[in-house]
């Protein structure tokens, strides 16, 4: 019996052990497969929510968390502040030092932001050089300005990347979650608006307020009206003369856009042009305005030039610039009489594309002027590389002439530099006889401004030119102005 029991025990033990091993092996394998799949899913989810460069939460993740925070805020009245941080002039760093350095800079900026702002909330990268911060709790203006200063000071400390030391500044915009009943997109829009205000006025930090809300509504109304406008009928061009001081001769006119909206009335050019650039409608507007300006300029005397401003969207799109070239070719006007004005800021946004676009216009025979010179980068390399024909010295220098100081010498230096380089110069914003006298004294040649004439509709140009002709026969520039 013992032998029989032993045999049964042996067989049973072996069977039990095998069953146990097989069962637990199968279950363990299944569990491992599930765990691996779960780990992979979590990794993929984490990667989809993370900015690969800075390892901060990305835009998608940030928007989700912002939405959750807003819902929590609505349920329990929990207040928070949203901040948007944007680096100033990051594009030029990328262009000058390359994208590798730009990326390393963004990584360093992200680390500093995490230290400076992350203690109080969530830091995230929205894209490019734009970051967002969520700060829990209510904050008064003073606290927010202090927080903005901390962030900006932290970012402004010098960087040493690839043995290159450089500095970068930042602009910060804040908006409180309680400003209005908004969704996450509305809140980001307002923080962005505040940040752009900070960038535009150089104040560093701006907190979105109810006054800004009115501005934003106004912008919305303008954009809406612009979208539905009949641009051919509602848009027009006016012209401001450019005058040779010595001879009193009008050398050209700068075309300036005007919009008379049926619903909004006359809209300020800076407002509707900014709206057109934001919405991309500028690409539709520029050909219409250029066509109108060319049609009018065709009837002017052959020695009078036409200056026309181009926007960033016009020169960053080869389709848009080709369209402008076709309009010029079809206009029966000598392209040598045309001068296209671009700003340095515009060129810096993508130097290579800007160079190619401007070269196309120059190939036709048109000239290129660098507008608002002296207040931006004032990069002399651009004059050389872009084969600039004219430099338009910014009106702010003329405004500062009355304060005395070295402004006159600065203007003289720029005028002399242009003469040395063989580049024409025009000084903008001349409004008084005193300013004109000073400019004449330092050897300035061409000027533009209200002293000679404010922008005029096309039908006033023949009379203006006739008066100019009579004045040239009868007297100097002062008599021209008096006649005007």
Query: Which residues would be at the binding site for another protein (CB under 8 A)?
Result: 1-2, 4-6, 8-9, 12-13, 15-17, 19-20, 23-24, 27-28, 30-32, 34-35
Phi/psi for 452 (5° steps) reads -90, -45
Q: Which of 38/329 has CB closer to another protein? A: 38
205 in Cβ contact with 174 (< 8 Å) = yes
The angle, 0 to 180 degrees and rounded to 10, between the axes of the packed helices 318-329 and 282-297 is 20
Q: Which of 35/48 has CB closer to another protein? A: 35
344 in Cβ contact with 387 (< 8 Å) = no
Least distance (Å) from another protein to the CB of residue 61? 24
Least distance (Å) from another protein to the CB of residue 42? 12
Residue by residue, what is the 3-state secondary structure of 354-415?
Answer: HHHHHHHHHHHCCEEEEEEECCCCCCHHHHHHCCCCEEEECHHHHHHHHHCCCHHHHHHHHH
Q: Which of 31/246 has CB closer to another protein? A: 31
Residues contacting residue 455 through CB under 8 Å, at least 6 positions apart: 238, 239, 240, 254, 256
Q: Which of 29/454 has CB closer to another protein? A: 29
Bridge partners of 164, per DSSP, are 161
451 in Cβ contact with 435 (< 8 Å) = yes
Least distance (Å) from another protein to the CB of residue 23? 5
Q: Which of 6/434 has CB closer to another protein? A: 6
Least distance (Å) from another protein to the CB of residue 11? 8
Closest CA to 289 of 238, 241, 347, 354: 238
Least distance (Å) from another protein to the CB of residue 2? 5
Cα separation, 405 vs 412, whole angstroms: 13
Q: Which of 30/416 has CB closer to another protein? A: 30
Q: Which of 6/43 has CB closer to another protein? A: 6
Residues contacting residue 358 through CB under 8 Å, at least 6 positions apart: 315, 340, 342, 368, 386, 387
Count of beta carbons in the 10 Å neighbourhood of residue 410: 16
For residues 437-454, one letter each, b for 16 or more C-beta atoms within 10 angstroms of the residue's C-beta and e for the rest, the string is ebbeebebbbbbbebbbe
191 in Cβ contact with 74 (< 8 Å) = no
Least distance (Å) from another protein to the CB of residue 14? 9
Q: Which of 35/46 has CB closer to another protein? A: 35
Q: Which of 24/326 has CB closer to another protein? A: 24
Least distance (Å) from another protein to the CB of residue 49? 21
């Amino acid at each position: 019996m013992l032998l029989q029991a032993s045999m049964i025990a042996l067989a049973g033990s072996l069977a039990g052990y095998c069953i146990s091993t097989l069962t637990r092996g199968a279950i363990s394998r299944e569990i491992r497969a599930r765990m691996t799949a779960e780990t992979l899913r979590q990794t993929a989810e984490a990667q989809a929510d993370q900015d690969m460069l800075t390892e901060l939460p990305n835009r998608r993740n940030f928007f989700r968390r912002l939405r959750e925070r807003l819902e929590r805020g609505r349920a329990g009245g929990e207040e928070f502040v949203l901040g948007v941080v944007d680096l100033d002039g990051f594009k030029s760093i990328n262009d000058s030092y390359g994208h590798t350095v730009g990326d390393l800079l963004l990584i360093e900026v992200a680390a500093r932001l995490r230290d400076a702002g992350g203690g109080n909330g969530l830091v995230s990268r929205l894209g490019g050089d734009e970051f967002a911060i969520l700060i829990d709790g209510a904050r008064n203006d003073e606290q927010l300005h202090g927080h903005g200063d901390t962030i900006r000071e932290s970012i402004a400390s010098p960087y040493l990347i690839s043995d290159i030391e450089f500095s970068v500044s930042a602009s910060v915009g804040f908006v409180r979650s309680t400003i209005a009943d908004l969704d996450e997109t509305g809140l980001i829009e307002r923080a962005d608006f505040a940040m752009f205000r900070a960038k535009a006025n150089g104040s560093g930090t701006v907190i979105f307020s109810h006054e800004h809300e009115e501005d934003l509504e106004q912008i919305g109304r303008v954009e809406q009206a612009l979208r539905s406008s009949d641009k051919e009928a509602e848009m027009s061009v006016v012209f401001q003369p450019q005058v040779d001081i010595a001879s009193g001769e009008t050398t050209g006119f700068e075309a300036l856009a005007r919009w008379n909206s049926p619903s909004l009335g006359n809209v300020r050019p800076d407002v509707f042009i900014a709206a057109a650039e934001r919405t991309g409608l500028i690409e539709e507007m520029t050909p219409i305005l250029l066509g109108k300006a060319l049609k009018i300029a065709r009837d002017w005397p052959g020695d009078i030039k036409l200056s026309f401003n181009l926007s960033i969207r016009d020169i960053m799109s080869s389709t848009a610039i080709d369209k402008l070239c076709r309009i010029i070719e079809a206009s029966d006007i000598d392209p040598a009489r045309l001068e296209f004005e671009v700003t340095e800021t515009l060129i810096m946004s993508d130097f290579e594309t800007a160079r190619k676009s401007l070269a196309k216009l120059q190939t036709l025979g048109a000239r290129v002027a660098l507008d608002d010179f002296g207040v931006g980068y004032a990069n002399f390399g651009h004059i050389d590389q872009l084969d600039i024909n004219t430099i338009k010295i910014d009106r702010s220098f003329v405004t500062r002439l009355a304060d005395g100081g070295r402004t006159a010498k600065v203007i003289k230096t720029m005028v002399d530099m242009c003469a040395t380089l063989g580049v024409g110069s025009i000084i903008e914003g001349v409004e008084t006889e005193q300013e004109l006298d000073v400019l004449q004294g330092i050897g300035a040649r061409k000027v533009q401004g209200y002293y000679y004439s404010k922008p005029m509709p096309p039908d006033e140009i023949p009379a203006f030119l006739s008066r100019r002709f009579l004045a040239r026969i009868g007297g100097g520039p002062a008599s021209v102005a008096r006649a005007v």
